Amino acid sequence: MVKIYEERFGETKSGKTVTRYTMENAAGMAVRILDYGCTIQSILVPDTEGIRRDVVLGYDDIDGYEAGSCYIGAFVGRYANRIKDAAFTLDGKEYHLSKNDGNNHLHGIYSFEMFSGSVEEGKLVFRRTSPAGEEGYPGTLQMEVIYELREDNALVIQYRAVTDEDTVVNFTNHSYFNLNGDGGDVLGHTLMIGADYFTETDGESIPTGRILPVEGTPLDFRKEKLIGQDIFSEYQQVRQCRGFDHNYVLKTGEGTSGDIVKEKESGEIISQGKLSGETIPKARETGGDTVKDDSSAFTLKEPSVRDQKGESRQTVLLPFARAAGDKSGIVLEAYTTQPGVQLYTGNFVDEDAAPFGKNERRVPRYGGFCLETQHFPSSPNFPEFPSTLLSPGEEYRQITVYKFRG
């Protein structure tokens, strides 16, 4: 049984008390989350020797999170990633957003806001209302961020939101993973991402509108390789970012090598299929209970939802990535309902504005990697990209799962 307890983490500069919640399962995995920015502060996972390692970057106190400039561990929104020129047009009206990344808008302010947290049915639920006009966005947005730790070491993150006016929504979590948990870089980690295409960007990391194949480029992670293998390539898309900072187009349909998760009449979601040619064993059902054939199988019981165009659809979880620490042997498998994922390799994390990371140590360049599940960057400016429009009467809902094993 997963235990959940809470403790005081500190106080913000504005005098607000920050609470840290800890979820811990019988396998020894523990996840610590703050009500400040819905931030994942720590993920402790037993390695192959049974020693627990903290596999995400973070800070030891609230001062670090308030000073930090790299969104470490945070929930981000209202729009994850960048919006070109901090502006978009919706229903014939142009909206101007805050410029916090040169001339562009990046992520938004949710990472630095307090949320109302509660424990509900074994899950952590964080809520906040974003008023119309906040950062320039239309519509009052009521949101929930839900964290659940499973006994099989799966951390399930759900995002939900409703609006009273047409708006755009794109949420993600900005955790930096270091599966060795030793304060070093992640260049020796192996990584596989099941994506054939990526969205090309310009020198400001803004999409050009072109979707390019990864084949023949350093961005090809369809077969497992070291993160550091091509990170110093002279390929323009890599060189301009000083590493990887790209949105991968995930596979979402039948007939691809991506894994499709279909909803049964009972509301049970069962993973089955392949990821880049490697079989992921499916779960089987016996007497109404799900029995996992292998530790890599994953099940999720959720109802179908309405998408951002208001159409009823099935909940689809796609296993899109696998990573492993070269020193710890800890493996991360990632699943999502989102159409894209931003691979970011901490190319500038060494320039973080906070003086220290955990244990009073500076984080080195490439000290962690992010798998930020999302809709595509600047989608409101590219109608050919998957829509991020949310209208009254619809529910924004996305799910991402990070599953660990030693």
pLDDT score of 211: 97
Q: Please identify which of the residues 66, 135, 148, 372 carries the catalytic annotation.
A: 372
pLDDT score of 315: 61
pLDDT score of 274: 35
pLDDT score of 269: 32
- State the SS3 of 118-187: EEECCEEEEEEEECCCHHHCCCCEEEEEEEEECCCCEEEEEEEEEECCCEECECEECCCECCCCCCCCCC
pLDDT score of 254: 28
pLDDT score of 316: 74
pLDDT score of 318: 87
Q: Please identify which of the residues 105, 174, 246, 375 carries the catalytic annotation.
A: 174
Cα 25-174-249 angle, rounded to 5 deg: 105
| Pick from 85, 33, 78: nearest CA to 56 | 33
Structural domains in the chain plus CATH codes: 3-193+313-405 (2.70.98.10)
Question: Is the Cα dihedral 127, 300, 152, 45 positive or negative?
Answer: negative
pLDDT score of 314: 53
pLDDT score of 395: 98
What confidence tens digit (pLDDT) does each residue in 294-327 have? 333 344 444 334 445 544 445 679 899 999 999 9
Asked about 333 being catalytic, the answer comes back as: no
What confidence tens digit (pLDDT) does each residue in 185-233 have? 999 999 999 999 999 999 999 999 999 999 999 999 999 999 999 999 9
Give the 3-state secondary structure percentages of the chain, helix then strand then coil, rounded to 5: 5, 45, 50
What confidence tens digit (pLDDT) does each residue in 233-244 have? 999 999 999 999
Asked about 302 being catalytic, the answer comes back as: no
pLDDT score of 308: 52
The residues of the chain scoring below 50 in pLDDT are: 253-307, 310-313
